[in-house]
Amino acid sequence: MCRNIKTLFHFEPPVTDQEVDAAALQFVRKVSGFTRPSQHNGPAFDRAVAEVSASVRTLLGSLVTTAAPRDRAVEAAKAKARSAKRFPPPQPDVGPA
């Protein structure tokens, strides 16, 4: 799965149209292998992004849960902590004293 595609379901505040469109764009880029399609393939690429966005909105509108909505700030802090654990800052090179 593309690491740039984030979970969009059940957040407070709710997902925005821009977030859905960005996820759809990342998905279509990953599936097609194009970062930016050629002029000839542009219309098909743009149509695919629009169709994926519409499907995601339909999916998110249909899902139900009894869990409390997730807080974006809390989830961002958790992701930052996971990243810091996986990629610790480099230690300064201390030569012999």
Give pLDDT, residue 34.
92
Query: Over the stretch 1-30, which tens digit does the pLDDT of each residue have?
Result: 456 677 888 888 888 999 999 999 999 999
Rounded to the nearest 10 degrees, how much is the dihedral formed by the CA atoms of 11, 17, 20, 21? -160
Domain ranges (residues) in the chain: 16-86
Give pLDDT, residue 75.
86
At residue 59's C-alpha, the angle toward residues 73 and 80, to 5°, is: 20
pTM above 0.85, yes or no: no
Query: Over the stretch 27-85, which tens digit does the pLDDT of each residue have?
Result: 999 999 999 999 999 999 999 999 999 999 999 999 999 999 898 889 889 989 998 99
Tell which wins on pLDDT, 96 or 72.
72
Q: Name the residue among 50, 60, 59, 53 with its Cα closest to residue 14.
A: 60
